[in-house]
Amino acid sequence: MSKYIHMLLLFVLLLAMPVVFAQQDCCGGHEEEQPAVAAGDAYPLATCIVSGKKLEAMGKPVFYVHQGREMRFCSNDCLTKFKQSPKKYFVLLDSMIAKQQLPFYPLGVCFISGKKLGSMGEPFNYVHNNRLIRFCCSGCVAKFLKAAEKYLADLDKAVIRKQKATYPLDTCLVSGEKLGEMGEAIDFVYGNRLIRFCCKDCIKKFRTEPLKYLAKFSEPVKKNTSEDHKDHEDHEGHHH
């Protein structure tokens, strides 16, 4: 009888375990089926696309990857609302990204057709994994998607060619190290902007808080702040 009771209890416990795991998954913010790393640029806005609030307004931002595209929200409630109608929020997000990145876009021609942007009417703005690409018409998008990596690499080269000569900093945006003192500087493109780093480790740190570091472009030249000093100390532990 005792053996039967033990087996019955074990069976009940096994039935309960998936329920517990499912509850943990739904409340944890991230979903297991989502890839850990997004395919394109990190989320480029300081605000939640659902609530319009600052990402840190309700604590630590919630990260989510939708079809390879990184998203950040101020709360799990906003993530839930986004999942209910992602297309609605992507229309808003894409318009904001286009406005943000347009001043830095390096090309005056469509890199699919080679035609001058505006020669066939208003250029078609398309956002791919948080990156603005401009075409002469919507018909060029399909060709782009067939070889997106190749075309994005070409776009990166165009950004570097156009912006490198006038790049305003001679130090790494993250570590504060003088560019070139630790080997050749790394040219990296984010949001159609050239960012120069002293090493690959600094790129990883930049991706976690891109807006924090981009703000340094508009800061006046000054002595290291405590935050800059901390980045420098953290950087001393890197291996190059």
How many C-beta atoms lie closer than 10 Å to residue 6's C-beta?
10
- Angle (CA) 107-105-115 rounded to 5° is 30
- DSSP labels for 122-147? S-EEEEETTEEEEESSGGGHHHHHHT
Domain ranges of the chain: 27-84, 105-163, 165-234
Q: What is the DSSP secondary structure assignment for residue 173, as one 8-state letter?
A: T
Q: What was the pLDDT predicted at 170?
A: 94
Nearest to 187 by CA among 164, 221, 162, 206: 164
Q: What was the pLDDT predicted at 31?
A: 40
State yes or no: pLDDT of 30 exceeds 90. no
Task: Kindly state the tokens that stand for 240.
Answer: 């190059």
Nearest to 175 by CA among 234, 108, 216: 234
| pLDDT, tens digit, 9 for 90 and up, residues 74-129 | 999 999 999 999 999 999 999 999 999 999 999 999 989 999 999 999 999 999 99
Predicted TM-score (pTM) of this structure:
0.75
Q: Which phi and psi angles does 74 have, rounded to 5°?
A: -80, -15
Task: Kindly state the tokens that stand for 18.
Answer: 């998936």
Distance CA 26, CA 124 (A): 38
Q: What was the pLDDT predicted at 122?
A: 95
Cβ atoms 161, 106 nearer than 8 A: yes
**Alpha-carbon distance values, 191 to 42, 101, 113, 146 (Å):** 9, 6, 22, 21
